Structure 1
Amino acid sequence: MTDSVQVRVPASTANLGPGFDALGMALDLHDTVEVAVTSGSLDVVVTGECASEVPTDESHLVVRALRTALDFLGVEVPGVSLRCHNAIPHARGLGSSAAAIVAGVAAAYGLAGKPLDEHALQLAAEFEGHADNAAASLYGGLVLAWSEGSRFRAVRLEPHQDVSPVVLVPDSRSTTSVTRGLLPDNIPHRDAAFAAGRCALTVHALTTRPDLLLTATEDRLHQEYRASAWPATMRMVRELRENGVPAMVSGAGPTVFAVPAGGVLPAGLDTAGFTVRPLAIARTGTTIEANGTNSR
């Protein structure tokens, strides 16, 4: 076993327009977690984003994921010291929950001295019920995620070098549980067919033909149904698209994910209420660094 590990996990954006619960991409904004085995009980310290708002007991998401993965791996530890530095904004559609879950799972693998494998994705995805964000944070780059019964799977694809994302992050927050409640149980067959074609085209555009992204990222599955949850976000998405910029809601919102040519938004765009931030694609996923070992 290893006594102490440091885990670095990238943020993620999911859906990418029509790829609802299927497409995800890792972004170059990272949470860092340090976990050490101790002889005491649980000690949690959190700094950075929302540090004062998250629990510091067994209900902390990293701790819950860590415990679950340690049980799966058959590892027992007497006590745990956890240090989290959060850089990913919470409840903004940038995969903060998935990153925390992946961090806990990865830390358990690191303490056990095992490389991340397909079971790590399964453990992480079970917390959220879908694998797009978790897979992106685990693998980096672009991911295509799906499920086979209760089994979650994903493949990593290499994004085109000309894909230069920009995120527009509002002060307001959103939650997946609320926005999912706005989705209808059924959609017209023509919209399902439209989404299938656009999702396939989005994969092609992101990996091979970025010039097709504006058309590829048109959505009829979720964004308009959830517009009441983030009207300012949808206003920005529409304005960007009217100016020729591929733009979409990032995950459950309210952040806007855009892919302007050259990574630069059009001049004169009214971005009041949003923090504009270029974020490169994180082409490397979660990393684990062992800080010490023993023979337990």
Structure 2
Amino acid sequence: MTARFRVTVPASTANLGPGFDTFGMALALYDLVEVEVTDAGLAVEVVDAGAGSVDEVPTDETHLVVKALRRTCEHLGVRPDGLRLRCHNRIPHARGLGSSAAAVVSGVAAGYALAGAEPDSAALQLAAEFEGHADNAAASLFGGFVLAWCTGGAFRAERLVPHPSIRPVLAVPRERSATAVTRGLLPAKVPHADAAFTAGRAALAVHAMTSRPELLLEATEDRLHQDYRASAYPASAALVGELRQHGVAAAISGAGPSVLALTTGGVLPAEVAADGFEVVGIPVDLGGVRVE
């Protein structure tokens, strides 16, 4: 059993407009988890995001990294006597940047490392089961641009390489959002015309993301989820609208409230005011989770 190692896991953005619960992309913003096998017991230290707030990030068996690690160890038949974890949380929580999925993926990767094994097809299944969809988890596992789906309870994903000219820019507000809340705003049914429109845009988005980035503005149009959830993040919805009016392929990142802009220049138009947002260019991560 590996006694000491470090897991680095990228943030992710999901949906990218029309690809609800299907599209994900890894971002070069990383959580870091240091893992050490000890004689007995569990010790968890949280640094950066969530530090000093037991209500926000627990330091016991309910910690998401620990839960995913335990589940993976059970799957692999590994039983460490004790563990010490030091979690450097650099991915902002509850901002639509895949912080929960990153925690789960780091736990899964740590479990495989403890077993001295490389992640296999079961790793995605173990990670995706925590959230019920694989878009963020697959992005953090594999890096790049991912297409995720589920067949008969089995989660699968394909990794694609985004066009090298795409330079994501994030606008991250102070406000937070909860996936459970935003999902509650979605209707049970949508008009057939809207479903067909969004399906067409999702198909176009795969082509635009990988080969024709000049089509991204049209390819990121959505009628399936963003308008229904706009009341949960009005400032973010307004910023998406303004960016799109200026020709920028913008969308809500995951469950929000962060805004993703798929640019080729790495900056937002000067005439677009992003007051209340931290605007930062973050490259695509192409490698996914790694253990050292």
**TM-score of the alignment, normalized to the shorter chain, above 0.5:** yes
Q: Work out which of the residue numbers 121, 124, 134 in structure 2 matches 1:121.
A: 124
Q: Distance in 2 between matches of 1:180 and 1:165?
A: 25
Q: Distance in 2 between matches of 1:60 and 1:254?
A: 24
Instruction: Specify the alignment match of 2:30 in structure 1.
Output: 30
Q: Distance in 2 between matches of 1:52 and 1:132?
A: 30
Instruction: Specify the alignment match of 1:261 in structure 2.
Output: 264
Q: 1:121 Cα deviation (Å)? A: 0.4
Q: Distance in 2 between matches of 1:164 and 1:24?
A: 15
Instruction: Specify the alignment match of 1:50 in structure 2.
Output: 50
Instruction: Specify the alignment match of 1:293 in structure 2.
Output: none
Q: 1:267 Cα deviation (Å)? A: 1.0
Instruction: Specify the alignment match of 2:21 in structure 1.
Output: 21
The yes-or-no answer on 1:100 pairing with 2:103 is yes
Q: 1:196 Cα deviation (Å)? A: 0.9
Measured against aligned partners, the alpha-carbon deviations of 1:186-234 in whole angstroms (never above 9, x if no partner) come to 1111111111110011111010000000000000000000000000000
TM-score under structure 2 normalisation? 0.98
The yes-or-no answer on 1:40 pairing with 2:40 is yes
Q: Distance in 2 between matches of 1:199 and 1:84?
A: 36
Q: 1:236 Cα deviation (Å)? A: 0.2
Instruction: Specify the alignment match of 1:292 in structure 2.
Output: none
Q: 1:256 Cα deviation (Å)? A: 0.1
Q: 1:5 Cα deviation (Å)? A: 1.9
1:245 touches 1:260 (CA, 8 Å); kept in 2? yes
Runs of 4+ with deviation above 2 angstroms: none
Instruction: Specify the alignment match of 2:291 in structure 1.
Output: 288
Please say which of residues 98-107 and 49-58 is displaced more in the overlay.
49-58
Q: Work out which of the residue numbers 87, 91, 106 in structure 2 matches 1:84.
A: 87
Q: 1:258 Cα deviation (Å)? A: 0.2
Instruction: Specify the alignment match of 2:238 in structure 1.
Output: 235
Instruction: Specify the alignment match of 1:294 in structure 2.
Output: none
Q: Distance in 1 between matches of 2:192 and 2:241?
A: 24
Instruction: Specify the alignment match of 2:163 in structure 1.
Output: 160
1:245 touches 1:261 (CA, 8 Å); kept in 2? no
- Identity, in percent, stands at 63
Instruction: Specify the alignment match of 2:180 in structure 1.
Output: 177
SS in 2 for 1:20: strand
Q: 1:109 Cα deviation (Å)? A: 0.3
Q: 1:245 Cα deviation (Å)? A: 0.4
Q: What letter is aligned with 2:79?
A: E
Instruction: Specify the alignment match of 1:151 in structure 2.
Output: 154
Q: Distance in 2 between matches of 1:261 and 1:132?
A: 23
Q: 1:144 Cα deviation (Å)? A: 0.2
Q: Distance in 2 between matches of 1:15 and 1:52?
A: 32
Q: What letter is aligned with 1:40?
A: A
Unaligned runs of 5+ in 2: none
1:23 touches 1:144 (CA, 8 Å); kept in 2? yes
SS in 2 for 1:253: coil
Q: Distance in 1 between matches of 2:275 and 2:126?
A: 39
Instruction: Specify the alignment match of 1:194 in structure 2.
Output: 197
**CA RMSD between the two structures:** 0.7
1:7 touches 1:288 (CA, 8 Å); kept in 2? yes
Q: Number of residue pairs matched?
A: 289
Q: What letter is aligned with 2:31?
A: D
Q: Distance in 2 between matches of 1:209 and 1:152?
A: 28
